[in-house]
Structure 1
Amino acid sequence: MTLRRITILATICLFGVGLLISQAHAFKGTYKVGAVFSVTGRTSFLGDPEKKTAEMVVEQINKAGGINGKKLELIIYDTEGDATKANLAVKKLITKDKVAAVIGPSLSGTSLAVLPVAEKNKIPLISCAASYKIVHNEKTGKPYKWVFKTPQTDTMAVEAIYSHLFKRGLNKIAIMSVTSGFGASGRGELIRLAPTYGITIVADEKYGPKDTDMTAQLTKIKGKAPQAIVNWSVGPTQVTVLRNWRDLGMASMPFYQSHGFGSRKNIELAAGAAEGILCPLGSCNIAELLSANHPQKDVTMKYSQDYKIRY
């Protein structure tokens, strides 16, 4: 069973939606909740567990009596990780299915594509993606009114990585990023926060979300002799770059992944190539290792157990 860093957050989303719709105008029969996840495609390792979690939690809520005596009706559409499909799905949920709120999408890029729809229609949308741009309107400098998200921001993840680098005395780094919404947002924060931690970026390489070899980028980085590499991507590319890194004999150079790597599925796919790499993780991934008095111990353990029993 693959525990995704987002799945526990998707659980919280559903309970949050319950609170939102319980205050909404009266619905006949059921409360409709929409969801858009990357159930299939390159990022299905994100969307599939999100879908399963959503279905599990709705079932639990309904068995407990629903919200204000009304059952939840969950309507899920698969975006396949595509921004256009995500946009059409959210429009359908709002205009045709008449949902009270929307959970998702799974990715930063698809979330950025649909947030104007939620804002225009004044329907709460709770994204499962990380970019701070999802909730922060850069034009106005203020938060969006109808769009929310649950994962830690890329800013938080960058700060965690840079703090670790600072403690290790590593201040000369190379960064790599995928040319997607998630990658661009993370790259921006890596560049913006570097001076705060006394970090110099000596190489800045990019690659596409469908690329299958990053040897050229890593070879350039190797020539710059950084003290560490920070990679910002999601999906198969973050596994590919690790294999290329090892094949080039660069394993002695510390390698950091973004919080997008925080899935057991990624570790399984990378096999031995992931040995020794570092990345920020949500507590759900290490629920069993949390101390008994950790504030998230009980909820993460319950979620983990419920998921294992169900799937």
Structure 2
Amino acid sequence: MPDLDQLNRRAIGCLLGVSVFGLAICGPTYAAETIKIGSVLSITGPASFLGDPEDKTLKLYVDKINAAGGVAGRKIELVVYDDGGDANKARTFATRLVEDDKVTAIVGGSTTGTTMAMIPVFEEAKVPFISLAGAIEVVDPVRKYVFKTPHTDKMACEKIFENLKLRAFTRIAMISGTDGFGTSMRAQCLKVAGNYGIQIVADETYGPRDNDMTAQLTKIKNTAGVQAVVNPGFGQGPAIVTRNYAQLGMSATPLYESHGVASKSFIELAGAAADGVRLPAAALLVGDKLPDADPQKKVVVDYKQAYEASAKQPVSTFGGHAYDGLFILVDAMKRASSADSDKVRDEIEKTKGFVGTGGIVTMSPTDHLGLDLLAFRMLEIKGGGWTLIQPGS
């Protein structure tokens, strides 16, 4: 793929009617000047609470970037496909982005399942892919062309267990979704629990189409010595768990959810039962509560205001993941002075000190996420809103 300077010279050659780099025919100048960025998102379907804000965010900020002159004078052309949460469709669209649309890079992949289906396509084509999915398996093991922006499920387990340890809770139960994210996070929690002195004394699961988890929660309720419950999962499942939890009179036992529910829609679905639930999440949800000296405050407050004014709906961390992915990519293209996929990939990997909605990102050849546990904030839902738990509580 030609770099930005080559494309500029080619466009000038077309305007003068001369051959450049052996090209006898020039296409439309505008098409030659655009940089194509692809995206496959779950805009509709069961994961639309992820894909819809991601889609809205990408379109909002691509328009802003183009209005400000684009990338080194070149406009971004955003190509978006909706997989509806279907991994097979995601893979088909991934192939289309590579073979037909010939994109420079991809920001997308709303779920772990759709992301994992697309990875082989982008790896084989050597096109950088910044995923918006949560599971650690997206970037562990590290793949040359695959990156991601959300905190991992392993980090969520560690942040939750940190808080459990502070509260002297050592005996917990888990109830996990069997979707890709829930399965992965459950495995990560089981793996790291011992590092925090946590004993898992009950371990239940539920399917993505289950609409009542009373039976599983009753088993947990009847298990002796359970001090807290952790629910790895995303989508409607955790909201059902939370409602059933309250219905069974279990609210005196602390309930922890994952960052997979970090949106206002979870609170709305769970209703009053959500009060008291704790979860690790990005600073975005509590931007107005951050101290002015926090380096993320301006980024998250500005994004929240811009998104809510445009989308007419509450901000979520999921749209924030798309914001981070887009600007990590744009910054990399600017540093590379190129739209060449390999050069852009190399610059993404060199990302250092990028202040995003999810944290401060510093990547390396062995770390294609670039976040640590400090990027997570522990939140508690109170009165239908987010509150920031102070360190040590």
Is residue 2:192 matched to residue 1:193?
A: yes
- Counterparts of 1:88-107 in structure 2 under 5 Å? 88-107=92-111
- Percent of aligned pairs with the same amino acid: 46
Q: Describe the superposition over 1:180-199 as per-residue Cα deviations: whole angstroms up to 9, x where unpaired.
A: 11011101111011111111
Q: What SS is found at the alignment partner of 2:127?
A: coil
- Counterparts of 1:67-106 in structure 2 under 5 Å? 67-106=71-110
- Counterparts of 1:226-241 in structure 2 under 5 Å? 226-241=226-241
CA contact (8 A) 1:132 1:154 kept: yes
Partner of 1:51: 55
Is residue 2:25 matched to residue 1:34?
A: no
Q: What SS is found at the alignment partner of 2:222?
A: helix
CA contact (8 A) 1:22 1:68 kept: no
Q: For the structure 1 residues 25 and 76, does the alpha-carbon distance in structure 2 shift closer, same or farther, using more than 3 Å as the test?
A: farther
AA at the equivalent of 1:256: Y
Partner of 2:265: 265
AA at the equivalent of 2:147: F
Partner of 1:206: 205
Q: Describe the superposition over 1:216-244 as per-residue Cα deviations: whole angstroms up to 9, x where unpaired.
A: 11111111131110001110111001111
Q: Which has the larger radius of gyration?
A: 2
The structure 2 residue matched to 1:127, chosen from 131, 137, 141, is 131
CA distance in 1, matches of 2:113, 2:228: 27
Is residue 2:173 matched to residue 1:169?
A: no
CA contact (8 A) 1:37 1:106 kept: yes
Q: For the structure 1 residues 271 and 291, does the alpha-carbon distance in structure 2 shift closer, same or farther, using more than 3 Å as the test?
A: same
CA contact (8 A) 1:255 1:278 kept: yes
CA distance in 2, matches of 1:123, 1:117: 9
Q: Describe the superposition over 1:20-55 as per-residue Cα deviations: whole angstroms up to 9, x where unpaired.
A: x97798582200011111111111111101000000
CA distance in 2, matches of 1:94, 1:204: 42
CA contact (8 A) 1:104 1:127 kept: yes
CA contact (8 A) 1:22 1:67 kept: no
Q: For the structure 1 residues 284 and 25, does the alpha-carbon distance in structure 2 shift closer, same or farther, using more than 3 Å as the test?
A: farther
Partner of 1:8: none
Q: For the structure 1 residues 23 and 245, does the alpha-carbon distance in structure 2 shift closer, same or farther, using more than 3 Å as the test?
A: farther
Q: What SS is found at the alignment partner of 1:279?
A: strand
Q: How many Å apart are 1:64 and its aligned residue? A: 0.7
Ranges of 4+ aligned residues in structure 1 off by more than 2 Å: 21-29
CA contact (8 A) 1:174 1:228 kept: yes
CA distance in 2, matches of 1:221, 1:206: 11
CA distance in 2, matches of 1:243, 1:290: 30
- Counterparts of 1:247-258 in structure 2 under 5 Å? 247-258=247-258
Q: For the structure 1 residues 290 and 229, does the alpha-carbon distance in structure 2 shift closer, same or farther, using more than 3 Å as the test?
A: same
Partner of 2:296: 296
TM-score after normalising by structure 2: 0.71
Q: How many Å apart are 1:309 and its aligned residue? A: 2.1
CA distance in 2, matches of 1:119, 1:24: 26
CA distance in 1, matches of 2:46, 2:254: 27
Report the aligned-residue RMSD.
1.5
Partner of 1:308: 308
TM-score after normalising by structure 1: 0.89
AA at the equivalent of 2:196: Y
Q: What SS is found at the alignment partner of 1:42?
A: coil
Structure 2 unaligned runs (5+)?
A: 8-30, 312-393
CA distance in 1, matches of 2:91, 2:6: 25
Q: What SS is found at the alignment partner of 1:280?
A: strand
CA distance in 2, matches of 1:22, 1:155: 38
Q: What SS is found at the alignment partner of 1:59?
A: helix
CA distance in 2, matches of 1:42, 1:188: 23
CA distance in 1, matches of 2:230, 2:189: 9
Partner of 1:157: 156
Instruction: Give the paired residue count.
Output: 286
CA contact (8 A) 1:107 1:129 kept: yes
AA at the equivalent of 2:208: P
Q: What SS is found at the alignment partner of 1:294?
A: coil
Q: For the structure 1 residues 25 and 278, does the alpha-carbon distance in structure 2 shift closer, same or farther, using more than 3 Å as the test?
A: farther
Q: How many Å apart are 1:280 and its aligned residue? A: 0.4
